[in-house]
């Protein structure tokens, strides 16, 4: 496993139209780890990962992704898989699942290059990793929300990435489907040395799986192991209200405002 951090943020600040989106962010994500990025809507979670990918530029500070400034990633960029919060894909368009996955190779083979038999084999291998190979020839429009999300993850996996970034992958899923996807992502991480970064607002579920968490509210509120950073103080700084965690052992399952805490059953 590489000793070079997957991502390093050094006093990074980002603005949108002169308004601060992130301020003075400093922390690093070790290679091979599984991190959760959590915070309220508008806290800067998506901004953080887009900055790491070079899709946004900091006005202060420095980012290094896989040892390079994002603009200098070059061929290393092909080793990054990214599933954005909003997929730029029309699911009603007549495309087979395997063709959607093969789109993930365009950054490697070129947008207008013909997809070969070998590329389709690679796409099928990626579908096997998400347990969707039996649906390879199905139209993408026929799949459920959870199945489509797995296909989009397979599209990111087809390049065999060293770094996989998932931005709110369960946003459009019901609770049962979301929990199943989280469990599957955890199993994917246990397969090898891939670094996985999961952006989410789902504190209770994600804290069961990730190695470490970064809590954002435009600034870096806290980062470290879930049991160390998921305190009432951190939640108050992230969400702007007092909070209490209820759960079993070290795993939080419910977050309520402090004023409602005394109404919870023992």
Structure confidence at residue 117 (pLDDT): 86
Structure confidence at residue 5 (pLDDT): 93
Question: Strand order in 60-65's β-sheet?
Answer: 19-29, 7-16, 60-65
Structure confidence at residue 108 (pLDDT): 59
Domains and CATH numbers, the chain: 7-263 (3.40.50.300)
pTM of this prediction? Answer: 0.81
Structure confidence at residue 258 (pLDDT): 45
The two structure tokens encoding residue 162 = 């060293």
Bridge partner list, 65: 7, 68
Structure confidence at residue 48 (pLDDT): 96
pLDDT along the chain (266 residues), means of 10: 87 92 96 92 91 94 94 85 75 83 74 72 90 92 86 89 90 76 84 89 79 91 86 64 46 45 42
Structure confidence at residue 181 (pLDDT): 80
**What angle (nearest 5°) sits at the alpha carbon of residue 56, between those of residues 205 and 31?**
50
Structure confidence at residue 226 (pLDDT): 86
């Amino acid at each position: 496993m590489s000793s070079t951090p997957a991502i390093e943020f050094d006093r990074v600040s980002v603005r949108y139209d002169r308004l601060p989106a992130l301020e003075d962010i400093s922390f690093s994500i070790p290679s091979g780890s599984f991190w959760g990025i959590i915070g309220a809507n508008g806290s800067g979670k998506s901004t953080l990962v887009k900055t790491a990918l070079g899709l946004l530029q900091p006005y202060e500070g420095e980012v290094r992704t896989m040892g390079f400034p994002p603009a200098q990633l070059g061929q290393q960029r092909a080793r990054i898989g990214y599933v954005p919060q909003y997929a730029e894909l029309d699911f009603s368009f007549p495309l087979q699942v395997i063709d959607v996955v093969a789109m993930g190779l365009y950054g490697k083979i070129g947008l207008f290059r013909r997809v070969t038999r070998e590329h389709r084999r690679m796409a099928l291998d990626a579908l096997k990793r998400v347990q969707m190979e039996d649906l390879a020839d199905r139209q993408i429009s026929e799949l459920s929300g959870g199945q489509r999300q797995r296909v989009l993850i397979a599209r990111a996996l087809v390049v065999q990435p060293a770094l996989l970034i998932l931005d709110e992958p369960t946003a459009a899923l019901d609770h049962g489907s979301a929990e199943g996807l989280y469990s599957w992502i955890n199993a994917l991480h246990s397969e090898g040395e891939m670094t996985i970064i999961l952006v989410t607002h789902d504190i209770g579920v994600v804290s069961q799986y990730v190695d470490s968490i970064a809590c954002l509210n435009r600034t870096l509120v806290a980062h470290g192991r879930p049991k160390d950073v998921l305190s009432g103080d951190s939640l108050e700084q992230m969400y702007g209200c007092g909070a209490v965690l209820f759960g079993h052992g070290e795993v939080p399952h419910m977050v309520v405002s402090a004023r409602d805490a005394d109404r919870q059953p023992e």
